[in-house]
Structure 1
Amino acid sequence: MRIPFSGPVANKRGRVVVVTGAGSGIGRAIALRQAAAGDIVIATDIDLAAAEQTVALAAGACHAYALDVRDPERWASVTESVISRVGVPDILVNNAGIAVGGAFFDQTPRDWENVMAINVHGVVHGSRVVGAKMVASGRPGHIVVIASGAAWTPNRVAPSYSASKAAALMVAESLRTDLAPRNIGVSAVCPGVTRTRLAANATLASGRDTAAAEEFRAHFADAQSRYSFATPDMVARAVQRAIRFNLAVVPVNFDATAAWVLHRLSPGLLRAICSIPTMELAQSGASLAFERLPARLSFHRD
């Protein structure tokens, strides 16, 4: 019997934790934190070398697997391998994600398909394959979806990203209602802007990948690094809270929490605020910050 308000696997030791996108950023921070806590971590990434780097940094049991979350057959293969090696996963963290920058009419159907394939279908495939094994085992478990404050923040700069994260959030909430009777918790962890390489790795829509676009990408990545409120480890700690207390939705940092409150209290006002930024304003603002503000000026100290 567990104490009230604790998650199904909150007090279990040596849990098997599968993390997607664990080769860098938030995924790596989650993998390292869970390994340090005594869990057996399965660090998966489409880039196996990056996952192996995470394993090398881990202070605990951590194993690397190559996994393209878009491929349900690869999900099945990796899951069977994990079960043979260390047992049925106790926790799944759906973290892998991408972003495409560009206004709505600049983003092509292929742009939307690429974002949805990873940010939404990747969550669905992983939750179906690993979740089914959890259910079949008859043991408690927990599934975490790394959504985003973008899930409740409409925007003109990356509409496909916001739409995909809203969909991922609803997948998590729907799955939570479905799996609760089976003693499997489901949480959506929603960071705001976080110091990762999401901006640096983002695709720019409508053939924007020119020299000017590359300059914009570099400036925007610099702004993300300097002015983000959250670190990957803050998100990793939020994941631990979500698992410990079986929380449904967890906004992580100031901007995500403020947007969530405004979304609940006055969605019209939030839409009005979000209608201000455009790609042009984002480009000029990032360039101005890069060129005019001292490098030491940031929201954090490394």
Structure 2
Amino acid sequence: MVRLPYTGPVAHKRGRVVLVTGAGSGIGRAIALRQAAAGDIVLATDIDLAAAEQTAKLADGACHAYALDVRDPEQWNALADTVIAGFGVPDILVNNAGIALGGAFLEQSPQDWEKIMAINVHGVVHGCTIIGSKMVQRGQPGHIVVIASGAAWTPNRVAPSYAVSKAAALMVAESLRTELAPKNIGVSAVCPGVTRTQLAANATLVGAASTEEVRSNFAAVQSRYSFATPDLVARAVQRAIRFDLAIVPVNFDATLAWVLHRVSPGLMRWICAIPTMELAETTARVATDRLSRISFHGQV
């Protein structure tokens, strides 16, 4: 069947099988609930099975819970066999599971880096490889979504390993998109800005940052600068699937960071070096205003 331009490979398919990782809370739960409400068959996975089961109970539609540690390819293979036996090959895979790790670059240990990369990058690679290969073997349209982050293009003095891991996840999506496009399988990277989740509260903090006061401040900053809700990100996922979009920044802060990163990487690095969020935000808004006037009015 010939599909119209600007529509995703599975945009109009009904009763799609959607596998979501990290679906026990936050963005993953919002994605699972929204897809179930849209009539999809959702497979909600999480390392915490009880949390995934709670998501399934909250769903207005078909939603099934499974335990999955995304770091373990053996668990991925076992899950794939179980899912395919019960529902067939997933039409959509949403790689959402992720963690945050705060602390200065020089204070993070090799073990800290291994932990965050194992989940935020290798977990995505395992899912894309194992489920993606099943999609290719099936020979039918499909779609893979990677939940990256606006941090992917934001040099970061607060959580550098998180930014690095999300930049890597973004490139996984972009590279895979070029490979799977001829097979009619779309790949999208959805990049939220600061979102109202428990990511900061549950983050691992290291070095000088590893105090409860810093954790509280970290969570407060996330709350104050949260321009997006989990459901807003879930809607962005639906948009990415519907229109087969390559990269989808979510809300003001992620879009601003994307624009500044592309227009003036040096300016972006300078803003990110400012030690306080208030100063950084003011500087970013002034820079955006000036850039918009240069771009749209031809004068400063």
TM-score normalised by the chain length of structure 2: 0.90
SS at match of 2:177: helix
Please identify runs of 4+ aligned residues in structure 1 that moved more than 6 A.
none
Aligned length: 277
Q: Does the CA contact (< 8 Å) of 1:153 and 1:270 recur in 2?
A: yes
Give the CA RMSD over aligned residues. Answer: 1.3
Aligned residue in 2 for 1:216 = 214
Q: Does the CA contact (< 8 Å) of 2:209 and 2:215 recur in 1?
A: no
In 1, the alpha carbon distance for the partners of 2:216 and 2:61 equals 35
Question: How far 1:205 sits from its partner (Å)?
Answer: 1.2
Q: Does the CA contact (< 8 Å) of 1:52 and 1:64 recur in 2?
A: yes
SS at match of 1:199: coil
- CA deviations over 1:214-248 (Å, ceiling 9, x no partner): 12212321332243100000000000000000000
Question: How far 1:208 sits from its partner (Å)?
Answer: 4.9
SS at match of 1:198: coil
Q: Does the CA contact (< 8 Å) of 2:22 and 2:96 recur in 1?
A: yes
Q: Does the CA contact (< 8 Å) of 2:103 and 2:208 recur in 1?
A: no
Question: How far 1:276 sits from its partner (Å)?
Answer: 1.2
Aligned residue in 2 for 1:62 = 63
- CA deviations over 1:108-147 (Å, ceiling 9, x no partner): 1111110100000000000000001000000100000000
Question: How far 1:2 sits from its partner (Å)?
Answer: 1.9
Q: Does the CA contact (< 8 Å) of 1:23 and 1:52 recur in 2?
A: yes
2:129 matched to 1:128?
Answer: yes
In 2, the alpha carbon distance for the partners of 1:233 and 1:99 equals 20
Unmatched tracts of structure 1, length 5 or more: 286-302
2:112 matched to 1:115?
Answer: no
Q: Does the CA contact (< 8 Å) of 1:35 and 1:62 recur in 2?
A: yes
Aligned residue in 1 for 2:262 = 264
In 1, the alpha carbon distance for the partners of 2:215 and 2:230 equals 20
Question: How far 1:3 sits from its partner (Å)?
Answer: 1.7
Unmatched tracts of structure 2, length 5 or more: 281-300
In 2, the alpha carbon distance for the partners of 1:58 and 1:162 equals 32
Aligned residue in 1 for 2:168 = 167
Aligned residue in 1 for 2:200 = 199
In 1, the alpha carbon distance for the partners of 2:62 and 2:221 equals 35
TM-score normalised by the chain length of structure 1: 0.90
SS at match of 1:89: coil
In 1, the alpha carbon distance for the partners of 2:126 and 2:111 equals 20
Structure 1 residues 276 and 220, CA gap change in structure 2 (3 angstroms): same
Q: Does the CA contact (< 8 Å) of 2:70 and 2:127 recur in 1?
A: yes
- The alignment-based identity, stated in percent, is 78
Q: Does the CA contact (< 8 Å) of 1:108 and 1:206 recur in 2?
A: no
Aligned residue in 1 for 2:287 = none
Tell me the amino acid that sits aligned with residue 74 of structure 2: E
Q: Does the CA contact (< 8 Å) of 1:189 and 1:239 recur in 2?
A: yes
